[in-house]
Amino acid sequence: MAGGQAAGRTDRILDTTVQRRIYASVRASILDGTFPPGHRLIVAQLCDEYGSSQAPVREALRQLTDEGIISSLPYRGWAVRSFSWNEIAETYELREELEAWAVRRIKRREDTVDTSACRAALEQLSAAVAAKDGMAALEADLRFHEAVCELAGSALLVKTWHSVVMQFRGVRAFLSRKNPDDLSRLIPDHLTLLSALENGTAAEAEEEFRGHLTRALQKIKIVVSKVDGEQPAT
């Protein structure tokens, strides 16, 4: 009995380890655009790829479904989540409100704000731009904005921001692969944001962040229209 219980515990630990590995690998492939929106995730194929039984694969896919990154298709398994234009627009509008709230909270603080994490993200962004690495630039861009949200001192804000952004992350990477971003403006644009955060008034900083995200959405609209072959509805 004892030996059987120990074997059972070992099997569960192994399943959990395999499930985490599959989850991390599939998630990375979605977030970097390797698995594009609508890509079917076939359990049998994933089992073959990872040398796994179905249970860890299904559990990994359920976790990604809970995060909103993939969708469960009734009687058809799973697929990478696709976004309509309206959902993309709503994502950026919500980001705008979240980051504007973050900026207002930061500017209300009486102590000196440590923006070193923002500056570190800018260094990463600069390196990515110099290397003409669009995916690394996108990661550094998001890290900068995440660092701003962290400065607001609200765990709920960071959690909400992260949930909103990560759901759209794979689509954003896919669009960048289809139509590579112009990286030339990334550094000056983010330096302007940082300057407004450090030296501007609350109203000025909020205006800069809102404008930045509005312009980003406008650029994405152009890319979506190129990918779809038609201008998305507003």
pTM over 0.75: yes
- Whether 99 shows a pLDDT value over 50: the answer reads yes
Highest mean pLDDT, choosing among 61-75, 97-111, 173-187: 97-111
Q: How confident is the model at residue 93 (pLDDT cuts 50, 70, 90)?
A: very high
> Is 74 strand, coil or helix?
coil
In this predicted structure, the answer to whether residue 3 has a pLDDT above a threshold of 60 is no
Query: Residue 151: pLDDT band by 50, 70, 90 thresholds?
Result: very high
Query: What phi, psi does 225 have (nearest 5°)?
Result: -65, -35
| Tens digit of each residue's pLDDT (9 = 90 or more) over 154-180 | 999 999 999 899 888 888 888 877 777
pLDDT 10s digits, 31-71: 887 888 889 999 999 999 999 999 999 999 999 998 888 88
Query: Does the pLDDT at position 140 exceed 90?
Result: yes
pLDDT of 6 reads 46
**What is the rounded CA–CA span in Å between residue 44 and residue 22?**
13
Rg (alpha carbons) of the chain, rounded to whole number: 21
Burial pattern 24-54, b for ≥16 Cβ within 10 A else e, equals eebbebbbbbebbbebebeeeebbeebebee
What percentage of the chain reaches a pLDDT higher than 70?
Answer: 91
Q: Would you say residue 9 has pLDDT above 70?
A: no
Name, of 10-19, 84-93, 221-230, the range with top average pLDDT. Answer: 84-93
pLDDT of residue 205: 97
Residue 70 CB partners (closer than 8 Å, separation 6+)? 30, 41, 61, 64, 78, 79, 80, 81
Q: What is the pLDDT of residue 77?
A: 87
Between 232 and 94, the more confident residue is: 94
Instruction: Give the pLDDT of residue 109.
Output: 86
Higher per-residue pLDDT: 124 or 27 = 124
3-state class of 73 per DSSP? strand
Query: For residue 202, is pLDDT > 90?
Result: yes
Please state, rounded to an integer, the average pLDDT across all residues of the chain.
87
Question: What does the pLDDT read at residue 223?
Answer: 83
Q: Is the pLDDT of residue 96 over 70?
A: yes
Give the C-alpha distances (Å, rounded to integers) separating 203 from 97, 107, 200, 212.
14, 9, 8, 14
